[in-house]
Amino acid sequence: MLTEGMYIADRYEIVGKVGTGGMSDVYKAKDHILGRYVAIKVLKQEFSEDRNFVVKFRTEAQSAAGLEHPNIVNIYDVGSEDGFHYIVMEYVEGITLKTYIEKKGKLSFKESVSIAIQVARGIEAAHNKDIIHRDIKPQNIIISTEGKVKVTDFGIAKAISSNTVSSDVMGSVHYTSPEHARNGQVDGRSDIYSLGIVMYEMVTGRVPFDGETTVAVAIQHLQEEMISPASYATDLPISMEKIILKCCQKSPDRRYQSIAELLNDLRKALNYPNEDFVVIAPGPESGPTKIITPEELREISDMAPDDEEYDDDEYDDDEYDDDEVFGDEEEGAEEELNPKMKRLITIGFVAISAIIVILVIYLIGYGLGLFGKHSTTDSTETETTSESQQVSESTSEEFEMVDLFGMTVDEAELELENLGLYISIEYEKDSENEVPEGQIFEQDPVAGTMVKKGDTVTVKVVEESSPEVEYITVPNVVGQSESSAKSTIEDKGLKYEVSYEYSDSVDAGDVISQSPTEGSVTEGSTIKIVVSQGKESVTIPSNLAGKSFKNVKSTLENLGLNVEAAYEHSDDVEKDYVISVSPKSGKTVEKGSTVTVTVSLGAEVHTYLCDTSFTINAENAASVTYTLTTATDGTVVTQTKNVTNGETVTVQKANLSDASGTLEYTIYDAEGTPISSGSETVNFSQEE
C-alpha cells in the first residue's frame, strides 16, 4: 500500500489513491521531472509474487508503451521497486464510460457514434502495431472532463489471460467474444465484437447477454441469438442497428474484418442514419442454435473458478454420447442430413433435454421432501416423512434479533448476511444518544424480537456531518496575460492548470477561456485556463516543385493555407505541374496565409514569317523555278514565273514552325534550258 507523499523511482510523488481493480491499485502521482500528473498502476501482492506473470506483464506493458494516440491512455514508464511492480500512465481526469451510461441510462445515437468512433480510432492505432486489446469494455474507456474518449489497459489483458487468475481479473465476460470465451484464437475481430457489445450497451442501457454466473453469460455469447438493440431503443436508426449486429456476429468471418471498415460505416451512419447500407454476409448463424459440447463447457468453466453454482461433475463426458446427442462436428456434416432427419434429431434432442430437466427437478424436490413419500418399507416412509417435516420447520424457524446498536454499516451488513437477513439503511442526526457518526443508534425489529430468514431489518445511522467549507468566488481571468492570470488565481487561494491552443482572435500569451467561468469553489480548487499561442503556424512542405498542381493544391489546403495559382510557359516542366511555390518550401507561415503556386503551361509555341527576295542575274533569263523548305514543315513554297535579267523575285510565307529554311532556285532561257541556279539559308522573323 502506497501512501500520500511517498516517492517512486525518486521521481513520482504519490498524491492519493484514485481506484482499485482485480489486479492492481491505481494512484495519482506528480512527475517532478516533467512537472505533470500521472497515474500509477501498482500490481497487487498476489500477482507480484508470480514471477512468470510479472515477466509477461512487463513485456506486454512495454509493448503497449509504443502506442501514442489521442484516443489511448498512453503508457510512459514500467518499473519495479521494493518488491512491487508498477506502470506509469497518462493521468486522465474524468469518468469511465460505464459510469457515464449508468448516470444517463442510455445515450443518444449521435453521442454513441461519436464515442464509438473515438474508441475505434484508438483500437485501430493499436491494431496497426499488432497489439490486440482483448478486454474492450466500458470500464476500460474513459471520458475526460474535456469530452475526449480514451481507451486504457492496452496489452495488459494478454498477460492476464495467459495466467491462471480469477474471473474478475480476466475482465467482464459480458463483453468477451465467442472465440475468447472458448479460449480459442483471438485477433483484431475479437476487439470489434467487444466494441459492438459496448455500442449495444450505449444505445440500450443494457448488455445483450446477462446471467448469474460468468459461465452462463459465456454460453449465451456462444449459442444464444442476440436480441436486436432496436427492440430496446425504438428510435435507433437502422444503420446503427445493423452496425452493432455486424460487429456482434458469432463467426469472426461475418464481422467487420478491420477497424477501418467499421470506422467507414460509423462515419457514414452520421450522415445517412436511416440508410440501410450495412451488408452482413449470410452464414450458418441463421440456422438452428449451435450446441456446446461438454469439452467446450468444461473449458469455459475452467475460466471462471469462482462460479460455485456450476459443478464440473455435472458435465462428466461419460454421461453423454457425443455421436448421438451432439452429432458429427466436422464441417458439412449438417448439410448431409435431409430436412426430415434434422427435424427428428431436433425434436429428439428437445425431448431428451426436457426429460433431463424434469429428472433434475424431481431429484432436487425429492431431496427436499417436496414430492411426499417415496419408500419401499414403512420404516423408510416414516423416516422420510420425519426428515421432510424437519426441513419444513427449519425453513420457517424463528430466532431472536441481535443487537446492532453502535455497529457500523459494514459490520451490521456482515452480521445480518450471516443470519440470512436483509438490511435497509436510513441516515439521521442523533442528538439524544450521542452515538458517534457512522454508527447505528436505532433498529427495527429491535433486539430480542423474533425474526426469520429473509426478513428486512431497518437501521438508522448517525449521519456524518460535513466540515465547514470556505467558498471562494471564481475570478474572471479571460483576456489577461498568462502570468497575470496565474497571480490572480493564486492570490485567491486557488490552483491553476494551463493548456495552450491556437487562436485567430486572441493575442499570443493571453487567456482564451477558463473553467469554471463563474460561481464559487472551495479553497484549493483548480481553475483550468486556456492560453493563446497566437495564430497557428504552418511549415510549407518540401519537394512540391515537379508535382501535379492538383495534388499540391490539396496538400496546402489541408494544412489550412489558401492557394493562388500563377501560370507560365516552361521548356523543362510538364503542363499542369508545379514550377515553384512562394513562400518557398520550409518557410513557416501563419495558418490561413496565401501561397502562390506557379504552374507550367508547357513549352511555349512560336510561329514565324518568311519575307525574303533574290535577284535574277542571267542575260538570257526567261523564267525561274524556286522552292522554300523548312525542317519541320517540309516544302512550303514551290513556284515558277517568267522573269528578265536583273528582276527581283519576292518569296513570302506565314505561320511557319521553324525560324529558318532553305531557298533553292533555277533560271531557264527561252528554250527551257537551265542557265543558272542557287541555294541559300533564309532566317525568318517571329510572328506576333
User: Catalytic positions, please?
Assistant: 135
* CA 44/CA 38 separation, integer angstroms: 19
Biggest alpha carbon distance in the chain? 166
- Residue 165 φ then ψ, to 5°: -135, 170
3-class SS of residue 569: coil
- Residue 150 φ then ψ, to 5°: -135, 140
* CA 219/CA 205 separation, integer angstroms: 22
Tally Cβ neighbours within 10 Å of residue 280.
15
Residue whose grid cell is 460505464: 98
In 3D, which of 315, 328, 396 has the Cα closest to residue 360?
315
Helix (H) or strand (E) run with residue 325 in it? helix 322-325
Q: Using CB atoms within 10 Å of the CB of residue 231, give its burial: 0 to 12 exposed, 13 to 18 middle, 19+ buried.
A: exposed
Assign 3-state DSSP to the chain and report helix, strand, coil percentages, each to 5. Answer: 30, 25, 40
Where in 306-410 does DSSP place strands (E)? 398-400
- End-to-end alpha carbon distance in the chain: 92
Contacts of 465 (CB under 8 A, 6+ apart): 429, 437
* CA 479/CA 511 separation, integer angstroms: 5
Q: Please tell me whether the peptide bond between 516 and the residue prior to it is cis, using omega within 30 degrees of 0.
A: yes
Rg (CA), the chain: 43
Return the exposure string of 358-385: e unless at least 16 CB atoms fall within 10 Å of the residue's CB, then b. eeeeeeeeeeebeeeeeeeeeeeeeebe
Tally Cβ neighbours within 10 Å of residue 246.
20
The DSSP code for 338 is -
In 3D, which of 505, 509, 552, 554 has the Cα closest to residue 529?
509
CA 46, 51, 57, 62 torsion-angle sign: positive
User: Which amino acid is present at 208?
Assistant: P
Q: Please tell me whether the peptide bond between 583 and the residue prior to it is cis, using omega within 30 degrees of 0.
A: yes
Contacts 24+ apart (CB under 8 A), 207-213: 207/174, 207/175, 208/248, 209/174, 210/174, 212/309, 213/304, 213/307, 213/309, 213/310
User: Which amino acid is present at 618?
Assistant: A
* CA 421/CA 305 separation, integer angstroms: 27
> All 3 cell numbers of residue 266?
460509423
Question: Please, what is the Cα angle at 220 between 263 and 325, to 5 degrees?
Answer: 130
In 3D, which of 620, 606, 622, 633 has the Cα closest to residue 687?
606
Q: Please tell me whether the peptide bond between 445 and the residue prior to it is cis, using omega within 30 degrees of 0.
A: yes
Contact 376, 428 (CB under 8 A): no
* CA 195/CA 120 separation, integer angstroms: 8
Contact 276, 268 (CB under 8 A): no
Q: How many residues does the chain have?
A: 688
Tally Cβ neighbours within 10 Å of residue 14.
18
* CA 457/CA 404 separation, integer angstroms: 10
Contacts of 373 (CB under 8 A, 6+ apart): 381, 384, 385
